[in-house]
Amino acid sequence: MKTTPLLLSVLALTAFAEEGKPSKALPLGAAKAAAEAGKPAETTKPADAAKTVQVETLTSDGKTFVLVKVIGDPQAFANFQNDVQTISQEQQQVAQVKQLAELALTTPEREARIRELETKFNRLKTDNETMAKTYGFDLTRQYVIVPTKVVVLTALTNEDYIKAKATAGFKEESILNAGDKKFLIKETVTGAAEVEAFKLQLQRIIEAKRGLQQLIDAQPRFTKDEDKKKIEEAIAKTKADVEAAGAEFKKVHGYDIPTEFNLQTAEAKLYTLLSDDEKKNLDKAAEPKKEGEAKKDAPAAK
């Protein structure tokens, strides 16, 4: 069965599933490097990277990424996530219809699938172009999100809110209103390295608590005295580890980890992968600046 030109052109955008997805989470060192890098360029499109050395880059897994967008508030970040989800869903739909078109057994069925594919493909292409204009890149490029500010929120009932207002030192700015819901701002963590460390600390404690609960749930299944003793020892040790980690968290952050909480990304930096040619051009553009700095730092001839 021959593949139509439309099916061939679709291959470029349906490759998003592998090439357009985000990189894995950055290690702490990479996040810190991103936080300490110079200010971003005014022109943020990757293709323009070679025109200026005033760009902010980071390296992850041996790849170079360039800053294309600073997402400066929670709503903007939520919009970005929604946009990415929309593109991903459209991409999956295109891939599914493309497969159905290729498997069609009759000409009328195949032609109908081709028309459906063209509609979905054009919508995906349009939305991806809008994405590129909005964020300075499109999802055909691999990208990295580095959160630089997160807010720890706990939901408040009306009763909780009334009690909170009655406490000494209450500040209205500690309350976040989201429609008909209210949240208490427990903490704001700022800085790429700080956010990464905070998330890792939370993750370790939550996983330890989950492990403790699993041991407790499994305890009744052990009936032999020897097994009972072993599970009791494991529970006691894990519980001590959880309590120690919780105490350390409270010492640093000033509060106990809530049973239920939301971690809201308030600010983030969006980096996109540089191609080999863009990386070479960027390095070449930076060479004159490095030479100038070297001459400036060199001792004067006597």
Q: What's the rounded Cα separation, in Å, for the pair 218 and 234?
A: 11
**DSSP classification of residue 301:** P
Residues 10-29 have a mean pLDDT of 41
| CA-angle at 186, arms to 182 and 192, nearest 5° | 115
Helix, strand, coil percent values for the chain (each to nearest 5): 60, 20, 20
Domain ranges of the chain: 146-266
Is pLDDT larger for residue 69 or for residue 10?
69
Residues 108-137 have a mean pLDDT of 92
Place of tokens 């022109």: 43
| Cβ(128)–Cβ(138) below 8 Å | yes
Q: Tell me the per-residue pLDDT of 131-171, one tens digit each, with 9 for 90 and over.
A: 888 888 777 788 999 999 999 999 999 898 888 888 888 88
Lowest mean pLDDT among 14-23, 99-108, 230-239: 14-23
| DSSP-assigned letters across all residues of 151-199 | EEEEEE-HHHHHHHHHSTT--GGGEEEETTEEEEEEEEEESHHHHHHHH
